[in-house]
Structure 1
Amino acid sequence: MSAQLLIENLRAWYGAAQVLHGVNLRIDEGEAVALVGRNGSGRSTLAKAIMGLVRCAGDMRYRGVPLMGLRPYRIARLGIGYVPETRDVFPALTVRENLLLGERKGARFTLGDAYRLFPVLEARASVKAGALSGGEQQMLALARTLAGDPSLVVVDEPGEGLAPQVLAQTGACLAMLRDRGVAMLLIEERLTIARMLDARVAVMGHGAIQFDGPLAALARNEQVVREWLSVG
């Protein structure tokens, strides 16, 4: 299987502070990968580096196309969607207007799909996004990104702060996208959605990948869990 996203020896900085120290990661076509690690391990920085939002060096290629030096909008047009942890909906626009802003003609994920998976979005279509709850904003941010027809989505903490029912809806949405051939990088703390998708797991620590393999293999690796995931 060919690599959809290939990252080699990636380093990244905020000002003079280096956060990523040689990340190597591969995501194949249609594959779901969960990126886990403690707070401060560099997970969100990796997402921002993929989208061209931080200063970085190394090599990143999406379907063979170099990403280094590209502006974020060009990276998005190549087919990479990004749902940040902050969600970043347009608060003064309605739910429907937010969705239409992200819409691309011929997309695999339609406005109808968004409303079927997240009925609350249809019920609140004329409500301004700034008036939505945190969970509703998460659903809107995910649906808006998918309306742009990405072939790879990077989702930072998709289950953060969501009620169990909304979390299940979010997992169902991502499973549907995976079944349609969309690859994904899920940044999670507790592997909740990763388990729903039976995703491959990459563990980050000290700004580098410390483990990369099946979820079952991670569960058996007590040293990795203790050193890079356990708290206290």
Structure 2
Amino acid sequence: MSLPLLDIEGLHAWYGASHVLHGVTLSIADGEVLALSGRNGSGRSTLAKAIMGLVRAEGSMRFLGRAIVGMRPFRIARLGVGYVPEQRDIFPTLTVRENLMLGERSRTVRFTLDDAMSLFPVLSERASVSAGALSGGEQQMLALARTLVGDPRLVIIDEPAEGLAPQVVTQLTECLATLKQRGVAMLLIEQRMTIARALANRVAVMGHGAIVFDGSFDALANDARIMNDWLSIG
């Protein structure tokens, strides 16, 4: 049996003195899309930042068999982990093309700059426009495209549909489905089950900084306790 692409065991993480993650155990196989759900404040974004080395963490995290706890973020990125944060973190004064060039690796295999432009045609049309002038949906596509030109094996995407119009969400979901077809593994942090179901192979649920469910969407739908205790709003 092959080893997971990303393997996390007993992971704890902190924001300053605040203990946010409490023994997270989770794995993602090569080419797999895992949806990570849970209420706001459950620890999902902290997990993404812990994987990228952006918060203090203790425990075991291995990517391609290599321990990454305590590793600098740029080194984790060079190993093949891409990150699209909820805030997108584009450079607003730079053009679309300049933003993409910042993420490009010298030896990209699957995703060149032109390939990213082809995947997101609107970026090609607006290549010379300042990124700050793009719509929210276009900025999200730019953030994702910039990550892809770094040729990641795994992409962590935090709430990609947040604040976007329905037609833009549909377009973005289609782009993510294309990435899945091309073998890019994803950790998709997403509350909308319709989007998660359309893309993911399985779903995990976080609550109070730990994984409280990990399995199929059908199993989740039939688990009344998890649905009521960790996902319902009322």
Equivalents in 2 of 1:38, 1:177: separation in Å? 26
Q: Which runs of 5+ in 2 are unaligned?
A: none
1:52 corresponding residue in structure 2: 53
In the other structure, the counterpart of 2:36 is 35
The question of 1:141 aligning with 2:143 is answered yes
Indicate the residue corresponding to 1:167 in structure 2. Answer: 169
TM-score by structure 1 length? 0.96
Do the aligned residues in 2 keep the contact of 1:4 with 1:63 (CA within 8 Å)?
yes
More moved, 24-33 vs 184-193: 184-193
Partner Cα distance (2:97, 2:164) in 1: 21
Letter in 1 for 2:208: H
Structure 1 range deviating more: 88-97 or 183-192: 183-192
Name the amino acid aligned to 2:154.
L
Higher mean C-alpha deviation, range 217-226 or range 192-201:
192-201
Deviation of 1:159 after TM superposition, in Å, equals 1.1
Amino acid aligned to 1:12: A
8 Å contact from structure 2 (residues 108, 149) kept in 1: no
For structure 1, the 5+ residue unaligned runs are none
Aligned to 2:161, the other structure's residue is in SS state coil
Structure 1 segments of 4 or more deviating over 6 A?
none
Equivalent residue number for residue 112 of structure 1: 114
The offset of 1:158, in angstroms, is 1.1
Deviations 1:49-94 (A, max 9, x none): 0000001110100011000110000000000000000000011100
Alpha-carbon separation, structure 2, partners of 1:198 and 1:187: 11
- Give the whole-Å Cα distance in 1 for the aligned partners of 2:211 and 2:229: 13
Q: How far has the Cα of 1:169 moved from its partner?
A: 2.1
Q: 2:155 aligns with which of 144, 153, 167?
A: 153
Aligned residue in 1 for 2:213: 211
1:176 alignment counterpart: 178
**C-alpha contact 1:103 1:148 (8 A) present in aligned 2:** yes
| Alignment of 1:202 onto 2:204 | yes
- Deviation (angstroms), 1:148: 0.5
* Residue 211 (structure 1) shift: 0.3
Q: Which moved more, 1:106-115 or 1:178-187?
A: 106-115
What percent of counterpart residues are identical? 69
- Asked whether the equivalents of residues 8 and 22 of structure 1 are also in contact (C-alpha less than 8 Å), the reply is yes
The residue that corresponds to 2:76 in the other structure is: 75
For the aligned residue pairs, the C-alpha RMSD in angstroms reads 1.2
Alpha-carbon contact 2:32-2:200 (below 8 Å) kept: no
